[in-house]
Amino acid sequence: MIKKPEELCKKLGLAFNNPQLFITALTHRSASSNNNERLEFLGDSILGFVIAQKLYELFPDACEGVLSRLRASLVNQGSLADLARKHQLGDYLLLGSGELKSGGFRRDSILSDAVEAIIGALYNDQGMSACQKWIVLYLFAEKLKNLSLDNWQKDPKTQLQELMQSKKMDLPDYTLITMSGLAHEQTFKVKCTTSLIAESCIGTGNSRKKAEQSAAELMLELLNKDTK
């Protein structure tokens, strides 16, 4: 753990009655037997239900198959890892020495599990209502706002490309910045730039393709904010 957990808790807009629950949610099994695996199991189920309920409300005319695919586009390892990176969650994780040396704080599986564990901890601390509020109004607020039946099946790179084409502008540029880690556990960082704005976005993933998708998603969010 590089930074204090209370800093992350405040940044996430949370306040725990039992702060130890939050610390446990950030503790990987490599660091302690009192780790986040059980909380992750609980949080996974809660997150799936909350997102399913919200999608049911948002898209009253969507069939079960479409709702399932919409949920899968939001609740998956890559999506949760992106949210974790957005809040620099890796800087607050408690990892064993082996995971620290191998870059576990950057790994999608560890980051996504920690997000689900935080949800599980919040449920144990304050119940379902608090979980629903935090997930819908904070954690997934931006992703839910940008979701539509027209673009759910299109990946972020395709969406960004079509946006640039609709404006008759050059296609986005993706540049590989770094590639690190062991051959079977590599981490890629890719920078995405467009001619629409001066800012660039950096995405991270365990493959170059995933890093590009992550960068494109961040760019879409940035452009969405810029047009408001």
- List the beta bridge partners of residue 191: 175, 202
* Catalytic residue from among 44, 108, 125, 212: 44
Catalytic residue among 99, 108, 116, 212: 116
Beta bridge partners of 205: 188
221 among known catalytic residues: no
Q: Which residues contact 64 (CB under 8 A, 6 or more apart)?
A: none
Q: Is 191 left (phi over 0), alpha (psi -120 to 50) or beta?
A: beta
Question: Known catalytic residue: 44?
Answer: yes
Query: How many other C-beta atoms lie within 10 A of the C-beta of residue 104?
Result: 20
Nearest partner of 81 among 187, 223, 224, 226, judged by Cα: 187
8 Å CB contact between 192 and 216:
yes
The binding site for Mg(2+) comprises 40, 113, 116
Phi, psi of 162 (to 5 degrees): -65, -35
Q: Which residues are catalytic?
A: 44, 116
